[in-house]
Structure 1
Amino acid sequence: MIENNWNAALYEDKHGFVWQYGEDLLQLLNPKEGEHILDLGCGTGQLTEKIALSGATAMGIDNAPAMIQKAKQNYPHLKFDVADGRNFQVEQPFDAVFSNAALHWIKEPDAVINCVYQALKPGGRFVAEFGGKGNVQAITIALESALQEIGIWQPQALNPWYYPSIGEYATRLEKHGFDVNYAVLFARPTPLADADLGMANWIQMFAIAYLKTLSKQQQIQVITQVEQSLKPRLYQDKTWIADYRRIRIVAWKLSAF
């Protein structure tokens, strides 16, 4: 799992697309007045707030204290707590667990699924979107190639992400007692903010696991090489495009399992 030292200011300033794209996931969640809904991996709280605007009682949890601190500042009327997706517990079960752009940071998917299952009422639903098989593949290949060129062998071991196929993830859900009734994997090329700096900002925000052992000079060298490698493919009209592929799932906790 990614270290929890997120830069909340950089996240909100340059990476608002994370929750902006997630807004349309709320249609799948379809929150209703009176429901109790948990936002797993809530970040700085924007989607938790939108869930609450439906009339539901929404609570957000995230592994990063900086994100939770910012969420509390943004929405002091809502409840937010620091919690690990692999071992969180809830006082009362929820009608739904919602998660946007968080689960690909946790390489122990069965632990997460078990926690989600335990957090739901019988008949409760799990609605999630996260990176799927092939997500940021071009960026990952370019990063690992650049690292090899400066003498970092087996850079694949630094990869912080879990990007499953539909078949793999649906099977895991079913083994834990979920009934999966919606699952889709789709490409979503994503424009990055700040024109020429978009890719560098993205790497420093989301791919820092590849860079944290490098000197500042080495980091600049790697990012520059990645930009040069990707520019013919992922730089269009003075804007960097991240090659995202996303999984969306809706699964229901079986009443008896």
Structure 2
Amino acid sequence: MASSAPAPGNKEEKDHWTTEAYQNAASFVPKLATKIVQWLDPQKDDRILDIGCGDGVLDIEFAEIVSQGQGHLHGVDSSPALVQAAQKATREKGVEGKATFEVLDANELISKAGELQSQRFNKAFSNAAMHWILRPAEKREGFFRGVREALAPGAVFAFEMGGLGNVSEIRAALLMAAGRRIGLDRAQAVDPWFFPDEVWIRDIMEQQVGGWRVDRIEREWRPTTADVGGVVAWVRIMAAQFIEALPEAERESFVKEVVDVLEIVCAKPGGGFMYSYVRLRVLATRI
């Protein structure tokens, strides 16, 4: 997949994403996807569906592989800005003939499953997008059904997302600062992330939805150094839903309060800042 950009929750939401802002705040996301890409093991004849494809960084890599054979890459993301960036990136690398992109809320996959399956995907992939996609509890089963129905039997789904405990220090600072202004219930309602554990993944895929076999799963603490934009850039883009839920007059004081706390908690002794990322990786087969 590409820069695994977190997609907005539905088509009506404001598109918070630009490739410039994302690269300033979280360019490390695709760079640290080595392990899940190894689990996917892309080959030249694979037809890969990338869910939450982002701005095209990993899609270039995949398109270069499938350009050596009969494969194809199709990326979907609900951010029009990031889909345009992915199209541009693959065009500039000369692999646009092997990669197509579509603006699509991943929770709507089920409505397009038949059309997608006609492309005979044998692999699906997602990196750092599903903790946004799965936020609405009522759509979680439908998402896994949509991915399942887009794939042929025996196809694999390799994904990495935030796992239980991900960015706990950041999330606590956001909820506390927002809760003081709009109440904790409201702050929790606008929290845009869902970070599950291994037990939850196995249950929803194998039991609640069915048709999946989880072959491999792990949850790893991966301390991650802040990007060039520092803590403030991360907060402004990743926590935009918190900011926009506040009265406009309180937004900058909220950002300052959160950043001031995190620059203490996340400070590295040698300079810079560290986020406590926890990654949940899964390799599953459609049965």
TM-score by length of 1: 0.92
Of residues 72, 81, 103, the one that matches 1:82 is 103
Of residues 41, 44, 47, the one that matches 1:33 is 44
Q: Secondary structure at the match of 2:213?
A: strand
What is the aligned partner in structure 1 of residue 4 from structure 2?
none
Q: Give the residue type in structure 1 aligned to 2:78.
A: N
What is the aligned partner in structure 1 of residue 211 from structure 2?
177
The offset of 1:50, in angstroms, is 1.0
Of residues 155, 178, 181, the one that matches 1:124 is 155
- 1-structure distance, mates of 2:142, 2:14: 18
Question: Structure 1 regions of 5+ residues with no counterpart?
Answer: none
More helix by share: 2
Q: Percent identity?
A: 29
- 1-structure distance, mates of 2:219, 2:232: 27
Q: Give the residue type in structure 1 aligned to 2:74.
A: M
- 1-structure distance, mates of 2:201, 2:46: 26
Question: Structure 2 regions of 5+ residues with no counterpart?
Answer: 1-8
Q: Give the residue type in structure 2 aligned to 1:52.
A: A
- 1-structure distance, mates of 2:86, 2:173: 33
Is the 1:49–1:58 contact (alpha carbons within 8 Å) kept by the matching residues of 2?
Answer: no
TM-score by length of 2: 0.83
Is the 2:59–2:86 contact (alpha carbons within 8 Å) kept by the matching residues of 1?
Answer: no
Is the 1:6–1:67 contact (alpha carbons within 8 Å) kept by the matching residues of 2?
Answer: no
Instruction: Count matched residues.
Output: 252
Q: Which consecutive aligned stretches of 4+ in structure 1 deviate over 4 angstroms post-superposition? A: none
Q: Secondary structure at the match of 1:127?
A: strand
Is the 2:178–2:246 contact (alpha carbons within 8 Å) kept by the matching residues of 1?
Answer: no
Q: Give the residue type in structure 1 aligned to 2:128.
A: A
Is the 1:4–1:65 contact (alpha carbons within 8 Å) kept by the matching residues of 2?
Answer: no
Is the 1:34–1:57 contact (alpha carbons within 8 Å) kept by the matching residues of 2?
Answer: yes
Q: Give the residue type in structure 2 aligned to 1:189.
A: P
User: Residue 238 and residue 224 in structure 1: after superposition, are their counterparts in 2 closer, same or farther (change >3 A)?
Assistant: farther
Is the 1:19–1:47 contact (alpha carbons within 8 Å) kept by the matching residues of 2?
Answer: yes
Return 82-91 or 34-43, whichever deviates more.
82-91
Compute the RMSD of aligned alpha carbons.
Answer: 1.7
* Post-superposition CA distance 1:59-92 (Å, at most 9, x none): 1111111111111111121211111211222132
1:1-257 to structure 2, matched below 5 A, reads 1=9, 3=13, 5-8=15-18, 9-55=20-66, 56-76=71-91, 77=96, 78-88=99-109, 89=112, 90=116, 91-106=118-133, 107=135, 108-154=139-185, 155-175=187-207, 176-194=210-228, 197-215=229-247, 217-236=249-268, 237-254=270-287
